[in-house]
Structure 1
Amino acid sequence: MKTFKNTEFAHIRETMGYSVREVAELLGKSERTIYRWEKGESLPEQNLLRELKTIYNVRSGQHSENEANFRFIDLFAGIGGLRKAFESIGGKCVFTSEWDLACRKTYQANYECDHPVNGDIRDVDLDNMPQYDVLVAGFPCQPFSIAGVSKKNSLGRPHGFHDATQGTLFFDVAQMIERHRPKAFLLENVKNLVSHDKGNTFKVIMRTLQEELGYYVDFRVIDAKHFVPQHRERIFIVGFRDDVGFEFKDLKLPQFGPKLGSILHQENGTEAPEAPYTEAPNGKVADKYTLSDRLWEYLQNYAEKHRAKGNGFGFGLFGPDDIARTLSARYYKDGSEILIRQEGKNPRRLTPRECARLMGFDKPGQRSFVIPVSDTQAYKQFGNSVAVPVVEAVGAHMLPYIFKVMRSAKDTDQVEMLFEKVEAYA
């Protein structure tokens, strides 16, 4: 049985798995000072103890979302997946931008906003934005995604940074970073961003962030299957204004993730009915989500035609013990990428409520995510969103370094104020 030292500081440090050297580097103290705190020979600085407690509570799922540790802005906000994750680690959202009206309706139904939800980022007045510490953005992925590139190629249209309507939106984010110099940022996009245009697109993005804006940047492609029952690979790009030692390789992912049974409606009376998704008295999934004979026959014939050609295109049929394919924004069309087996009848689509669970917006013991839009809009919104638990893990990994850069910024501000006073006196 593991034994802990008697002090609270030592208990938290050991429980989190930090070595004395690691926590000393993280808090900007000498190892000798940390040893004194651990032995109770001196009291730890209260602000640093509070930081360590906050990091511990976030990682153990005990953090109170009412306690704000930093301010962030939410760009290309969608339905607030990035916001939900960053609020879970103690962030306070002070600015939101999302151009889609249906997404804004869902966003405003789920989050308390003491600020307006702004529209197109290109219309934002950069000089009149609130102060913030962290920028988060899931900037549009269509110019970089495999599907988006294929569609634009078929239409003879340019893509990536040559796309006049969406490809340049990254540079609006870059302009905002340049103007306000946030302490940190998190950008999210599709995995294909790395390989688009033979890697040139990603090279331009990294050169912009590192060389032109001067940030210390690291990135990682993460599959959401570690957190939710869905294969969903996305790239996360993290940057810090100062060299705080952040590295993605230190982020440990769960070895085994949940299965689809954890998000499916139970249909046995243990789950309260929720119209229009499930029906009384036992919470049976509504018949409208079962595929019609005509659609089911079409999907089977379509899959057989492509199998004969040696292609892998077709529907995905899953049960409770499986991990699903990626939920996409086109799911409303036929649901073919994720169909649920049903005994004695045609398979069915996921309900929007199950999509909310699949993307991590709904969790046991928490208030259900409000879905104020039609099924078609809901499928588009969840299919375009981030898997919230993945961003929570990334955010929790960033949090110690956010504290570290904020401490550094505070010290810098104090020095600048001191020089201003000296100059004024002179």
Structure 2
Amino acid sequence: MERDLSQRGAFTFIDLFAGIGGLRLGFEAIGGRCVFTSEWNKFSRETYRANFEDDHPIDGDITKISATDIPAHDVLLAGFPCQPFSIAGVSKKNSLGRSHGFLDETQGTLFFDVVRILSHHRPKAFLLENVKNLLSHDKGNTMRVILHALDELGYAVDHRVIDARAWVPQHRERIFIAGFRRDLPTSFTLNDIRIPDASPRLSSILHPEDGSERPEPPFTEGAKGKVSSRYTLTPRLWEYLQNYAAKHKAAGNGFGFGLFGPDGVARTLSARYYKDGSEILIAQPGGIPRRLTPRECARLMGFDRLGSNRPWTIPVSDTQAYRQFGNAVAAPVAISIAEAMAPWITNKVSLLAGAHRVA
């Protein structure tokens, strides 16, 4: 993702549970300056540092950071941890007889660190992101608690599930929760975001393998930039995935691998992609399919694009890169939301504000 920082400083924001900076890209794109970052995962911090120039360190465990040690800011961003509220996370914790959601002793209460920082600093606005299942977790009680807490803090709140499909060739539904302080009247809603008419396909993110792209070891190699053979599944793994899919199909289940060509639209890239890549396999005519490369994952999440003059830096192993992109916010979605919030954040609302509202 190309980043023009020439207008940085129009407002300030903080980046909590930052991951590799998907939300940050959105608010930098509209002129914001990040003044505080918190991310506990050391590998994500490594990628974050490699891609953003900051005059502040990346702090770790937010539960150990006092709100008084966080700089004043105009906007709070937080992709608070997904696992306690995700279908997979809840299923796993139930099977282990462990609590989840707000009852989880480690991650479930991290939302309240967002609340305590909002309560202390009272920023103009916030944007939170989580998995779609947050809406239905605990029969809707979790979401009701979240919305009630934000309402009690004096924020007018809106939420919407947004599929990144309109921006990138991937079905990726996430819930975004945005709020503005009530003493700063706005008419903002998440329906104000501009949704592109384009329908991108995987061809827009795949290595062309025709010599038009410079080779990038270890992802691609040779004069034509062919994808390295390391990303092709082993015959044994490919046989296993086919047998597994056939077994579940016979049982009437929908489980199985996802096989796509350049005209396809991928399933959701997940943090488990490093295990076998089964949710998004790329067909190779006459051969065994392959995984996406980390560079293709960067493009699939909108952190990068084919032919970029400033590609996203990937300083970590493939395993860590897959985890990071699978947990990330699709950057173009964050940019579109930030653009819709911008007039209210900077107090530059015009008669055109809301003119691009969508149903």
In the superposition, the TM-score normalised over structure 2's length comes to: 0.94
RMSD across aligned C-alpha pairs, in angstroms? 1.5
Residue-by-residue CA offset, 1:265-309 (whole Å, 9 max, x unaligned): 000000000000000111000001000100000000000110011
Q: For residues 190 and 405 of structure 1, what CA distance do their matches in structure 2 show?
A: 31
Q: Does 1:219 align with 2:159?
A: yes
Question: 1:125-274, aligned counterparts within 5 Å?
Answer: 125-210=66-151, 212-241=152-181, 242-274=184-216
2:6 is matched with which residue?
66
SS in 2 for 1:127: helix
> What is the number of residues matched between the two proteins?
345
The partner residue of 1:315 within 257, 266, 272 is 257
Seq. identity, %: 66
Letter in 2 for 1:373: V
Q: For residues 376 and 249 of structure 1, what CA distance do their matches in structure 2 show?
A: 36
2:328 is matched with which residue?
385
Letter in 2 for 1:310: G
Q: Structure 1: give runs of 5+ residues left out of the alignment.
A: 1-60, 407-426
How has the CA–CA distance of structure 1 residues 379 and 62 changed in structure 2, closer, same or farther, with 3 Å as cutoff?
closer
> Any conservation in 1 of the 2:193–2:339 contact (CA below 8 Å)?
no
> Any conservation in 1 of the 2:20–2:45 contact (CA below 8 Å)?
yes
Higher helix share: 1
Bigger Rg, which one:
1
SS in 1 for 2:13: strand
The partner residue of 1:290 within 226, 232, 240 is 232
Residue-by-residue CA offset, 1:125-153 (whole Å, 9 max, x unaligned): 21122121100000001011111111111
Distance apart, 1:113 and its partner CA: 1.2
SS in 1 for 2:208: coil
Letter in 1 for 2:52: Y
Larger RCO of the pair (alpha carbons < 8 Å, separation 6+): 2
Q: For residues 3 and 259 of structure 2, what CA distance do their matches in structure 1 show?
A: 38
SS in 1 for 2:143: helix
How has the CA–CA distance of structure 1 residues 120 and 361 changed in structure 2, closer, same or farther, with 3 Å as cutoff?
same
Distance apart, 1:245 and its partner CA: 1.1
> Any conservation in 2 of the 1:232–1:325 contact (CA below 8 Å)?
yes
Distance apart, 1:366 and its partner CA: 4.0
2:339 is matched with which residue?
396
SS in 2 for 1:234: strand
> Any conservation in 2 of the 1:82–1:388 contact (CA below 8 Å)?
yes
Q: For residues 281 and 263 of structure 1, what CA distance do their matches in structure 2 show?
A: 19
SS in 1 for 2:224: coil
Q: For residues 346 and 64 of structure 1, what CA distance do their matches in structure 2 show?
A: 41
1:275 is matched with which residue?
217
1:29 is matched with which residue?
none
Letter in 2 for 1:120: D
Q: Structure 2: give runs of 5+ residues left out of the alignment.
A: 350-359
How has the CA–CA distance of structure 1 residues 400 and 170 changed in structure 2, closer, same or farther, with 3 Å as cutoff?
same
Distance apart, 1:332 and its partner CA: 0.2
Q: For residues 383 and 62 of structure 1, what CA distance do their matches in structure 2 show?
A: 21
Residue-by-residue CA offset, 1:34-83 (whole Å, 9 max, x unaligned): xxxxxxxxxxxxxxxxxxxxxxxxxxx99942212100000001111111
> Any conservation in 2 of the 1:218–1:248 contact (CA below 8 Å)?
yes
Question: 1:74-89, aligned counterparts within 5 Å?
Answer: 74-89=15-30
